[in-house]
Structure 1
Amino acid sequence: MNKFEQLGLQAEIVNAVNDMGFEAPSEVQAQAIPILLDQETDLVALAQTGTGKTAAFGFPLIQKINVDSKQTQGLILSPTRELCLQIANELKNYSKYLKQLNVVAIYGGASISEQEKQIKRGAQIIVATPGRMKDMVGRRMIDISEIDYCVLDEADEMLNMGFYEDITDILSHTPKEKKTWLFSATMPKEVASIAKKFMSNPVEITVGSKNEGSKNVSHEYYISPGRDRYQALKRLADANPDIFSVIFCRTKRDTQKVAEKLIEDGYSAAAIHGDLSQNQRDLVMKSFRSRQIQMLVATDVAARGIDVDDITHVINYQLPDEIETYTHRSGRTGRAGKSGVSMVIVSKSEVRKIRSIEKIIKQSFEQKDIPSGEEICQVQLFHLANDIKETKINHEIDQFLPQLEEILEDFSKEELIKKFFSVEFTRFFNYYKDATDLNAKAQNDSFDDGGNSTRYFINVGAKDGFDWMSLKDFLKEHLDLGRDGVSRVDVKDSFSFFNTDTSEREKVLAAFENYQHDGRSINVEITKNSDGRSRGRGRKRGGGNKGGGRRSKAFSNKNSGGGRRSSRRSSSDNSSGGRRSNIKSSINRRKKKKS
């Protein structure tokens, strides 16, 4: 008997499973499927991204649907268009032998009237994004008043994207007696609130521990001075010639800049963020899935719904605002039973965040040195040698062998090997022969406020809606100091501290001269330590009250150390900088902005 059949699945679904090559259920499938088939119950399932959650709810849902009725019986809500389409396609594959079952995907960026027509033709299962679903329910284009089952997939992601009100509004149009199945990678308080409000005595299953990271993913961190972060990224890519990765940045601006720099340096890269049109996003993702793009630079919001099983590395170019978000980032690799690596590039002052993440994911990080130029040259040399070893001979070359042998007859075997590899090796060697030791620079990157760094007091803090990352973003944009111009941000309740290079001192003080927020003066002054007890005699400003590439071919670009140029550039970033007229609302908008 088939292992899926042992779970109680009907023959039509088992046959489809066999066609797809599934051999054994994953842990979440083995736990969830029997419960959902045997019981009419609400369910909360906590499992990491890539563990097979779609089949865990998809198989039972399909089996419970009455295919003889065209009435909508099941609703699945998912955070992004990409994931919505993916779930719908998977359900269609699972139900290929149930010809009467109709699954319709509802999402923004497509014709709403066409989607309405599909619904009216009969859709027993609707897969939808919250925004479009709420719109169509509000227009009475969809009737979900008699559904039997509602699935909230990637519930934490939907809530992180600001869909709480949309979800509660949608669920208010569904019958109370329906069964709700909630699937999530983490269990923040917002998800618990949804479960408490809309579910009755749910069965809870957990694969691993709550918020725990995947066992298939190893975690590494590399300490780099902020100004060398991009160079560190390049070296990590160069030291892993077969890399197929997602690189995470926190802002659209940084995402676009990093992608553009990688492209300029010869890597096959692209950016995906909220300023891209849906068509641009589709083109980028199509190229990534086909491996035409090997380094995808993404914001957290834009990356939601990326479901590619063969990603080898996740690189955290910057740590996320919320520690729990790291779980989702690292879950993009190590999928479908394969191993993966999650790398983090941090400054000295950010190492404390690594310790916090370790506690959440219940796994340890290994600190590693940034690869040296010599190490990279060696890795690339032997990677090329292995590529040559595995290359199949094209015998069309046989006709040219006599002439080739004549040209090369004066060279020994050893000389030929040296010459052959030097054609490519020299490019990397020339790039890295005088390369700086980034690890030594990181160790010498001082924490002291003296010397080349100045520490400041500013009279805004947590009460104004800031955490350390959002305040850093605000300061970088307002001061126009660049990506790593602001460091050591420490947010207190009603005031904060931050550092810049001492050379920027006059610029910082001048930038906040007579600067006001909602009629309140913002005060910045030089201080000497972070507890606020002995601030220096810096100038007070504003009179306010205190306290208030990857390359698919090695060695192909002389300037970058290798790489094949991508033929596609992502669209320019339209993220705005400058002053914020309303600090708190600006931060909230960032957190809630949909991709």
Structure 2
Amino acid sequence: MLSFESLGLNAPLWEAVRDLGYENPTPIQAEVIPMLLESETDLVALAQTGTGKTAAFGLPLLQKTEVDQRKTQGVILSPTRELCLQITRELKNYAKNLPGLGITAVYGGASIRDQARDISRNPQIIVATPGRIKDMIGRGMINLSSIGYCILDEADEMLNMGFYEDIKDILSKTPKDKSTWLFSATMPGEVARIAREFMHQPKEVTVGTKNKATDTVRHEYYTVSGRHRYAALRRLVDAHPGIFSVIFCRTKRDTQRVAEKLIEDGYNAGALHGDLSQNQRDLVMGAFRKKQSQLLVATDVAARGIDVDNITHVIHYQLPDETETYTHRSGRTGRAGKSGVSMVILTRSEMRRVRQIEKIIGQPLVQKELPDGMEICEIQLYHLVSKIRDTEINPAIEGFIPAIRDVLEDLSRDELIQKMVSVEFSRFFEFYNKNSASLSDSPSKSVESSEIGKGQARYFINIGERDGFDWMELKDLLKKELGLGKDDIFHVDVKDGFSFFNTDSVFTPLVMETFRRFSLKGRPIHVEMSTKPREGGKGGFRKNKKKGWKTSGKGGKKTFSKGGSFRQKQKAKKANKAKKGSKGRPGK
């Protein structure tokens, strides 16, 4: 494996990188860093978001900068304030062993006087948004006449945002003999024009296929009628209890409206769009980075430069106007080798765009049906039980235990479990019992259905993300242990503390026997059959009479039958009591 030291970096730089926890360079870094260190050259590098481009141009720039020369030697242009600040932070981390090297960010939405004061200290490197640096050049606050290096980061996005003329004007104020390094995810015509007009025989580097999305992201789409778009969003969020997601809308108005509705419905969400003040943007992003909010509803422009790790899902509430933007959006997840999911909510009239997206990303979009209400209830119930199991006991409650026992002494063990779980579970059951109708609007018969297909079996397994698994790694484990092929295990759905997967029913005896006494790193691993609900009549949910919830009749009155995955071995007397309105019944 290559190391940063082997790329030709000086000790102060590779030691700083090592201290940050990076051991091996990414493909773009391994290819670009030696090239830029060895010669003075112009460069066009195409690579997707999240591949380590900042270090690819930042480390060579730092090494080539003369620390003892107090003048601006390099300028980096980026499309948004967030990306500008992210680049500045990363460069300062890489330069921690280079005393005397100054790096300053200039961007809109902050005091131009404060930034002018920082510039007056003659930093060697300026990181800037095009609009603000053009303004400061015009006022005589910044002079780029002697810089040696100019970097255009996210060049395609800057041009999509309308900065073409600004970039041309800025570049015209720089020396002709400077080195220009252009980094972009795509290569539209305007980016090519910049390369032709302002670069001299640039070397070209492409990591991966142009525009191609990362292989660590799974792409799915769901078709609904336009009036069900928000309801579909709720189902996708509820079906993934550990979700940490960016939700993309086309307009600022829709972004604010969707975020407000999510908040009203009890979700931790925030909106990010161009109408927010800088202080509001900082508060929203601060809450999202700290995971105080799990859903960030954003416009494409506002989301550029989001530097947040471990985003599990990208949800396209609406597709972007430019199909190429889909790649930028989905690149928010599946970063640094981790897996992610990109989910698109479509109306039938937008189906033609699926083929366009597939052509751009070089991957298929799998058509799926939205999970039904009972499936979501089952997922949420398992999530709740897993959360209770893994909760650390607070020693402060020890003194209250005798009084708590007195209050609960009339309850059996099963009743106590049922009541405890019902506290959280009831709101999901009540909501989805009233909103159980299918939302899918799909004419296709090739849909990857949320129901168990004929001849298929679905299983619950008590390992998930917190055990270090994503859907690809869990599928690999199952293939290895069961000795099955990659197509024999499907619909692998990994949650926080548990997961689901499907096989053809012919493999059920093999699955159950393999995991009957199975352990992983000393931990017992259990696999159970997961029976999904069949579609019922007007009453709503139905399930096998031996297993759990059922409803019947026009009124949809709820009962709880003997046995079942939600209340194991429930006595008939308890079920009748629940039917008559017991406080222990879920939904009350």
User: Shorter-normalised TM-score: what interval?
Assistant: 0.7 to 0.9
Amino acid at match of 1:369: E
Match of 1:166 in 2: 166
TM-score after normalising by structure 1: 0.73
Match of 1:416 in 2: 416
Match of 1:317 in 2: 317
1:262, 1:116 → 2: CA distance? 41
5 Å-filtered alignment, 1:454-533, equals: none
Using the TM superposition, give the Cα deviation of residue 390 of structure 1 relative to its aligned residue in structure 2, in angstroms. 1.0
Match of 2:45 in 1: 45
C-alpha contact 1:232 1:438 (8 A) present in aligned 2 = no
- Deviation track 1:415-443 (CA, whole Å, cap 9, x = no partner) reads 22222212221221111013243345555
2:116, 2:397 → 1: CA distance? 59
Match of 2:70 in 1: 70
Match of 2:371 in 1: 371
Using the TM superposition, give the Cα deviation of residue 51 of structure 1 relative to its aligned residue in structure 2, in angstroms. 0.9
1:53, 1:13 → 2: CA distance? 16
Using the TM superposition, give the Cα deviation of residue 402 of structure 1 relative to its aligned residue in structure 2, in angstroms. 2.4
1:221, 1:151 → 2: CA distance? 37
2:438, 2:199 → 1: CA distance? 53
C-alpha contact 1:224 1:438 (8 A) present in aligned 2 = no
Amino acid at match of 1:300: D
- Deviation track 1:166-224 (CA, whole Å, cap 9, x = no partner) reads 00000000011101000111111111111111111111111110011111111110111
1:433, 1:240 → 2: CA distance? 19
C-alpha contact 1:16 1:96 (8 A) present in aligned 2 = yes
Amino acid at match of 1:164: Y
- Deviation track 1:538-564 (CA, whole Å, cap 9, x = no partner) reads xxxxxxxxxxxxxxxxxxxxxxx99xx
Amino acid at match of 2:336: A
2:29, 2:141 → 1: CA distance? 34
Match of 1:216 in 2: 216
2:38, 2:73 → 1: CA distance? 18
Amino acid at match of 1:418: Q
2:309, 2:29 → 1: CA distance? 18
1:411, 1:394 → 2: CA distance? 23
C-alpha contact 1:130 1:166 (8 A) present in aligned 2 = yes
Match of 1:148 in 2: 148
Does residue 90 (structure 1) correspond to residue 84 (structure 2)? The answer is: no
TM-aligned CA distance change 1:180 to 1:257, over 3 Å: same
5 Å-filtered alignment, 1:114-153, equals: 114-153=114-153
Match of 2:346 in 1: 346
Using the TM superposition, give the Cα deviation of residue 287 of structure 1 relative to its aligned residue in structure 2, in angstroms. 1.1
1:25, 1:341 → 2: CA distance? 25
SS of the aligned residue for 2:350 comes to helix
SS of the aligned residue for 1:438 comes to coil
SS of the aligned residue for 1:327 comes to helix
2:427, 2:2 → 1: CA distance? 54
5 Å-filtered alignment, 1:298-309, equals: 298-309=298-309
Match of 1:279 in 2: 279
1:334, 1:320 → 2: CA distance? 20
Match of 1:244 in 2: 244
C-alpha contact 2:225 2:440 (8 A) present in aligned 1 = no
TM-score after normalising by structure 2: 0.74
Match of 1:263 in 2: 263
Which structure is higher in RCO with an 8 Å CA cutoff and minimum separation 6? 1
Using the TM superposition, give the Cα deviation of residue 320 of structure 1 relative to its aligned residue in structure 2, in angstroms. 0.4
SS of the aligned residue for 2:434 comes to coil
SS of the aligned residue for 1:433 comes to helix
TM-aligned CA distance change 1:284 to 1:226, over 3 Å: same
- Deviation track 1:45-89 (CA, whole Å, cap 9, x = no partner) reads 111111110000000000000111011110100001111111111
Match of 1:491 in 2: none
Using the TM superposition, give the Cα deviation of residue 112 of structure 1 relative to its aligned residue in structure 2, in angstroms. 1.7
User: Unaligned 5+ residue runs, structure 1?
Assistant: 445-560, 563-595
Match of 1:399 in 2: 399
2:406, 2:110 → 1: CA distance? 63
- Deviation track 1:460-483 (CA, whole Å, cap 9, x = no partner) reads xxxxxxxxxxxxxxxxxxxxxxxx
2:329, 2:375 → 1: CA distance? 28
2:256, 2:312 → 1: CA distance? 22
SS of the aligned residue for 1:82 comes to helix
Match of 1:5 in 2: 5
1:328, 1:314 → 2: CA distance? 11
C-alpha contact 2:223 2:440 (8 A) present in aligned 1 = no
Amino acid at match of 1:394: N
Using the TM superposition, give the Cα deviation of residue 380 of structure 1 relative to its aligned residue in structure 2, in angstroms. 0.6
Amino acid at match of 1:50: G
C-alpha contact 2:148 2:179 (8 A) present in aligned 1 = yes
Match of 1:24 in 2: 24
Using the TM superposition, give the Cα deviation of residue 118 of structure 1 relative to its aligned residue in structure 2, in angstroms. 1.6
1:162, 1:33 → 2: CA distance? 30
1:42, 1:314 → 2: CA distance? 35
TM-aligned CA distance change 1:2 to 1:51, over 3 Å: closer
Match of 1:362 in 2: 362
5 Å-filtered alignment, 1:564-579, equals: none
1:173, 1:394 → 2: CA distance? 63
C-alpha contact 2:42 2:203 (8 A) present in aligned 1 = yes
User: Unaligned 5+ residue runs, structure 2?
Assistant: 445-585
2:395, 2:282 → 1: CA distance? 39
Using the TM superposition, give the Cα deviation of residue 113 of structure 1 relative to its aligned residue in structure 2, in angstroms. 2.3
Does residue 184 (structure 1) correspond to residue 164 (structure 2)? The answer is: no
**Structure 1 stretches of 4+ moved >4 Å:** 439-444
- Deviation track 1:87-112 (CA, whole Å, cap 9, x = no partner) reads 11111110001011100111112222
Using the TM superposition, give the Cα deviation of residue 404 of structure 1 relative to its aligned residue in structure 2, in angstroms. 2.5
1:264, 1:391 → 2: CA distance? 28
SS of the aligned residue for 1:259 comes to helix
Query: How many corresponding residue pairs?
Result: 446
Identity %: 66
Match of 2:205 in 1: 205
